[in-house]
Amino acid sequence: MSDIARAVAFYEGKLGLRALRSAPSAQTPDGSRIYASGGGPALNVYQSVTAGTTEATLATWYVDDLDEIVDELTAAGVDLVRYEQFEHDPKGITARAGGGRIAWIQDPDGNTFAIEADV
């Protein structure tokens, strides 16, 4: 993230992730967070001048009920990313290659994350 305070507002405020700890990031005191997911540490978010520069999906969360998660994210003000090359349902979910379904979100810097379910 280009700004750790904005990252905290998004990852904790909108996504509801729980920070396990914070630490310095390069020259930024308190510039990183380790977030819990699935019962253990799962995501390290840190302040960086290159935030949002990759077009690749940075991480994927696998969930049991994609509709429920998408509803919760939408209610929290998170917009789903809709790619022109895919057909999306009204919620923004699309079929995943090989079966299942997938939705994408982006943080305030444009870093992309996927949420997937097998059904």
Question: Which ranges constitute the DSSP H helices of the chain?
Answer: 4-8, 66-75
Exposure letters 64-79 (e unless 16+ CB within 10 A, then b): eebeebbeebeeeeee
**Predicted local distance difference test score (pLDDT) of residue 52:** 85
Residue 62 is predicted with a pLDDT of 93
Note down pLDDT in tens along the chain; length 119 residues: 788 899 999 999 999 998 999 888 777 788 899 998 777 777 889 888 888 888 889 999 999 999 999 999 999 999 999 999 999 999 999 999 999 999 999 999 999 999 999 98
Q: Taking the model in full, what pTM does it have?
A: 0.86
- The rounded distance, in Å, linking the Cα atoms of 111 and 91 is 20
What are the start and end residues of each CATH 3.10.180.10 domain in the chain?
A: 52-119
pLDDT at position 66 is 98
Does CATH place domain 52-119 in 3.10.180.10? yes
| pLDDT score for 57 | 92
Residue 39: per-residue pLDDT: 76
